[in-house]
Structure 1
């Protein structure tokens, strides 16, 4: 089977692998970060597309993300809208075994025809939520220089007159008590 992909395609393409013995090595973007030499170079041969960039692909067992689920993974990792995923719900939820995800990076910008062997089946091509590039009005900015800030100086407290009188009387009594 062949799959034609137009030039500048922004969708991700999901494939099921029915025979893991002849399928590509498992790789994720995280495993590629941990070990850059772990990138599977058999993907270009598998799809008969020498220009395919394997660093833009993931191959993993659906069981590895069972706690999250494939649809949730695609929503979180690839920014696919839930309503888009709902259209492929039965096909995505029914997958087991290994899956291959090809991103636009893997396919490049040119028109591509992927030739799939019998054990690779195309499941879906899903478009991510488009980036919001709508122009926004900038808030007004006051460019007037701010007044210099004066450092905080606590107010001086002057003692109350009665406090001075009480202290003077106590000192007088102490002095008279020692002298007598």
Structure 2
């Protein structure tokens, strides 16, 4: 069981991993009657969430990779974040629920999942470095291209006039055929 989970307004880039504490046959039965997003909303006890990106799957599907490896390799979660929970992640069996920040739509939310879920951990998705030094090269400055260059006019050849001549000949041939037919 997990206590209330506070999601701050504007949260981005977080991944929450929950163990589903229902028997596997019960989860399989639920998945036959409802979609994964619907089951995720049911498990989280919040019908207003957009759980279209939530994942529900058996840990057994990750044989050879493991849940820790799935988070590290699939979502570029830093190994240092995973390390404190590695034993718990590796010990899980049955089904897991993975919920991403986009499910909350940037709104402040308090989740109160029942006995069906246990929060294993919250991890940050990889974010590329955006603090780059300014570009100082002359070619990187705006409006440094060649000013006032007009593109060359397309080549004109005999093809245009040949088409006109062919059209006139075709029209005359149709006229002659119509007159003598």
Smaller-chain TM-score bracket = 0.5 to 0.7
> Secondary structure in 1 aligned to 2:87?
helix
Matched, 1:80 2:82: no
Moved more, 134-143 or 41-50: 134-143
Distance 1:56 1:144 in 2: 44
TM-score by length of 1: 0.65
Query: What displacement does 1:53 show?
Result: 1.1
Q: Name the structure with the higher helix share.
A: 2
Give the match for residue 107 of structure 2.
110
Give the match for residue 64 of structure 1.
61
Distance 2:86 2:145 in 1: 57
Gaps of 5+ in 2: 147-181
User: Number of matched residues?
Assistant: 135
Would the aligned equivalents of 1:55 and 1:106 in 2 still touch at CA under 8 Å? yes
Would the aligned equivalents of 2:57 and 2:95 in 1 still touch at CA under 8 Å? yes
Work out which of the two has the higher radius of gyration on C-alpha atoms and give 1 or 2: 1
TM-score by length of 2: 0.64
Gaps of 5+ in 1: 27-36, 146-180
- Alignment deviations for residues 15-42 of structure 1 (CA, whole Å, 9 cap, x no partner): 001213444639xxxxxxxxxx954323
Give the match for residue 169 of structure 2.
none
Give the match for residue 19 of structure 2.
16
> Secondary structure in 2 aligned to 1:71?
helix
